[in-house]
Amino acid sequence: MMAFIPLSEQRIRDELLKSAPPEHAYYFHILDEIDSTNRYLKDVMAKPEVQVCCAEQQSQGRGRFNRHWASPFGENIYLSCRYTLQLPAQNRSVLSLVVALAVLDSLKELLAPFDDLCIKWPNDLLWDDKKLCGILIEMVSEKDGFFDLVIGIGVNVNTDSKLNPLSDKACGSLFDITGNLFDRNTIIALMLRALNASINLLINTGFSSFQKRWENSDYLRNKFIHVTQMGKRIEGYGAGINQLGQLALMDEHGVMHYLSSGDTSLSHMRA
């Protein structure tokens, strides 16, 4: 069995240099314990570099809709990146989908041949109906079209979730899938590289190049689902996304709804 490998800036930097030199300069904050890596990066001073924070443990890891994100010591990835980006209006709403696709790419590279991963709109990564990764993007400030934002990524890596369930919802880990333990530093470097490439592609060419890739990994397509949005429940079949990254949902009357936020769940089919 692989010995415990701590998080290490040097190991991440070495991995980043293995392919082309990184296009961004990075400033790393590697921490033993913190309440939340997103919260930490939101409160630090802005820097010209992309700031990256990873912790061995989070005491108050946060998810979307203010949910708790389980963050046991030394097992998984709790990663936040603070970027300043000049994003045209039409690209803002799709950023969280683009980040999910970038993480998907890096995990697929690692997991082949067990790479049957998919994305549940807007940005949960699933394998075998179990959640492996969640993403929380938070805005720090906006000025003259420049967005200072924190992208938080939690990946369940080495937890044996059959022995130590991470949540009362269905969750899995890379260990559950492969039976192998992973060096988290390698995965962090893979994700940083994929994030850069995807964000640059979004800025330079827009969302259209990502739409096809979304279709290939869309967990909700043709599934009967319900979405709760501001207390209102809408039911129907997942019908992909539009060019704004909104979820398309066909209801029982054949009317298409486009949703830009909300929490999706699979519904039981009506008899």
Residues in the site for ligand BTN, rule: CB under 6 A? 36-38, 58, 61-64, 67, 69, 78-80, 124, 134-136, 152-154
**CB 77, min distance to ligand BTN, A:** 8
Assess contact for 135 and 96: CB atoms under 8 A.
yes
57 versus 250: smaller Cβ distance to ligand BTN: 57
Rounded Cα–Cα distance for residues 80 and 83 (Å): 10
**CB 136, min distance to ligand BTN, A:** 4
**CB 149, min distance to ligand BTN, A:** 13
Structure tokens at 209: 């190049």
**CB 166, min distance to ligand BTN, A:** 11
64 versus 213: smaller Cβ distance to ligand BTN: 64
Residue nearest to ligand BTN (CB): 134
19 versus 228: smaller Cβ distance to ligand BTN: 228
169 versus 212: smaller Cβ distance to ligand BTN: 169
**CB 251, min distance to ligand BTN, A:** 26
**CB 130, min distance to ligand BTN, A:** 13
Please, what's the b/e burial string for 2-38 (b: 16 or more CB within 10 A of its CB; e: otherwise)?
Answer: eeeeebbeebbeebbeeeeeeebebebbbbeebebbb
Assess contact for 218 and 238: CB atoms under 8 A.
yes
H/E stretch holding 108? helix 95-111
3-state DSSP assignment of residue 85: strand
Assess contact for 192 and 105: CB atoms under 8 A.
no
**CB 124, min distance to ligand BTN, A:** 6
Laid out side by side, the sheet with 263-266 consists of 256-259, 247-250, 232-241, 224-229, 263-266
28 versus 78: smaller Cβ distance to ligand BTN: 78
User: Distance between the two ends of the chain, CA-based, in angstroms?
Assistant: 49
Whose structure tokens read 């697929």?
108
138 versus 239: smaller Cβ distance to ligand BTN: 138
Rounded Cα–Cα distance for residues 165 and 70 (Å): 9
129 versus 251: smaller Cβ distance to ligand BTN: 129
Structure tokens at 238: 């997942």
